Amino acid sequence: MLFLNFSPVEAPRSPFEKMAHFTISSSPFQSQVCDLLPCNDTSKSTLTHALLRAYNLFDHFDEIIERPSCTERDITRYHDESFIKLIMSSAASEANEDEELTGRDGVTSFAREFACSNDENYLSWFENMQEIYAYWNSYANFNNNAHRQPKESHARLNLTTSTRQKDQNASKLETYGLMYDCPIFPDLPLYLKVSTGATLSLASRIFAKSPTKMILINWDGGRHHAFRSKASGFCYVNDIVLLILALRRKGFRRISYIDFDLHHGDAVEKAFEHSDNVQTISLHLYEPGFFPGTGTVESALNHRSVVNIPLLHGLDDTFLLNVVQEVIIPCVRRHNSEILVLQCGADGLKGDKYDEWQLTIKGMTKAIVKVAGSMQNCHVILLGGGGYNPRLMSRFYTYLTMELLKTFKGSQINLDSLVEIDDILPDHEFIDQYRDEYFKFWIYEMDGEKGKKLKNHNEMSYINELMNAYKLI
């Protein structure tokens, strides 16, 4: 078994934590469906799942959810019914069941070639959408909406194709945010039911009075920009809000949501800005013209349970860790949370296409694990989020998963077999995707290899300002 070599992440430890029960929602099916999302660049989820499997990390989970699903009714527990109906019906009209994945998900060809050359069976990946729907329909038979809808006429969808009304159609879609960064794409209903179902499946596994610390993961979740009646920022359905509402129904009274994404968690904050029970904390880049342009300290102070931590260009590991220790953890403890929901978007990593922050995989992991261990008797749900370099993201979620296992389940993990910090990635079906990065796990951590050092415009004195603003001193 291969593990990466790095000094243990510091976090409070106790017999309760050592007995943590681990659940993850992940499978080839889930990954290929989630990679239908255009901003996943056809491979973000697939590469992550494959690398987790290559390092044998799934062996240490108590439960693996491989067939996630949810219904439109589940989604409309929060979202506007007309909005969801338009998404589902419009996307169905564009779907093509016979479409192959090659081109939209070209990485499957690498698995096929690897299997042939290595005489191994890596063909758990689907070859086309017909196979994916056959698999989906084999288990998601709880209602008729599980099956792919046949193509409907635009008239039935309340969208017309006459020249006279094209502008009206565009206006209708734009009202719901279904253009530009959130276009209708083929198989969007399937994507929404699987990705949202993966997050909601975590809620179904957890109980407020569980005697065991539970850590639950869905790296395909974390769609924090979707509003009740409007898609935004590559996000159509807000699985985070739906998850938190499900947790409230299950008896969790005090919930803290912590958002590590480069972008402000605007839609989650909006959903709970008047709640005393749900605390929302977001650290994010806040500069003129940067999306979504919200998330100031001043706006947070208008609400009892909102904490905004707007940051500047060049954020590094040291500053992030100080923010975590001096601001985030004290706020979480003051809220006296029973469960933490962490959005682990990693578009602030060095090597991401945004190139705004310069966090390292190790540094961001250390910060997240420290927050996860900040409340001794607190369950933790971890979701994915932003991140637009699929190879970088696969490394990050693999390392973060490993460190969570080592920190909260260390006594049950074999830590004897460690590879060197600059060792080569393990051979697996997508290894050739890392060829241009010399097959090295830590290529983005090595000075001079990927990008230049950024000037950090964040000053340590600002942390004291945040502490004063949120009455932590």
Find out whether 19 and 173 touch, Cβ atoms under 8 Å: no
Measuring CA to CA, which residue among 363, 366, 362, 361 is closest to residue 351? 361
User: What pLDDT score does 165 carry?
Assistant: 55
Give the pLDDT of the chain (473 residues) as one tens digit per residue. 333 443 444 444 444 445 799 999 999 999 999 999 999 999 999 999 999 999 999 999 999 999 999 999 999 999 999 999 999 987 555 554 455 554 454 566 666 666 666 655 555 899 999 999 999 999 876 443 444 443 443 444 455 555 455 566 778 899 999 999 999 998 999 999 999 999 999 999 998 778 899 999 999 999 999 999 999 999 999 999 999 999 999 999 999 999 999 999 999 999 999 999 999 999 999 999 999 999 999 999 999 999 999 999 999 999 999 999 999 999 999 999 999 999 999 999 999 999 999 999 999 999 999 999 999 889 999 999 999 999 999 999 999 999 999 999 976 666 554 344 558 999 999 999 999 999 999 999 886 666 689 999 999 999 999 999 999 98
Residue 90 forms part of a structural domain: no
**Pair 404, 361: CB distance under 8 Å:** no
User: Can you give the pLDDT at residue 9?
Assistant: 46
β-partners of residue 3 are 418
Tell me the residue range of the domain where 206 lies: 3-73+189-469
Tokens 């989906």 locate to 136
Whether 153 is covered by a domain: the verdict is: no
Query: Is 225 a known active-site residue?
Result: yes
Q: Are 32 and 46 in contact (CB under 8 A)?
A: yes
Tokens standing for residue 251: 């008896």
* Cβ atoms within 10 Å, residue 229: 14
Contact between residue 406 and residue 241 where contact means Cβ atoms under 8 Å apart: no
- ω into 292 cis (within 30 of 0): yes
Residue 158 lies in a domain: no
* Neighbouring residues of 363: CB distance < 8 A, sequence distance ≥ 6: 316, 317, 318, 320, 321
Q: Give the closest residue to 189 by CA, choosing from 241, 123, 154, 144.
A: 144
Q: Which member of 21, 225, 263, 428 is catalytic?
A: 225
Residue 297 resides in a domain: yes
Residue 243 lies in a domain: yes
Number of domains in the chain: 1
Question: Considering the domain boundaries, does residue 57 fall inside one?
Answer: yes
Q: Is residue 353 part of a domain?
A: yes
**Residue 152, amino acid:** E
Q: What is the pLDDT of residue 465?
A: 99
CA 334 and chain centroid, separation:
26
The whole-model pTM stands at: 0.90
136 within a domain of the structure (yes/no):
no
CATH number at residue 255: 3.40.800.20
The residue with tokens 């959810």 is 65
Note the pLDDT of residue 421.
Answer: 52
Count the neighbouring beta carbons within 10 Å of the beta carbon of residue 326.
17
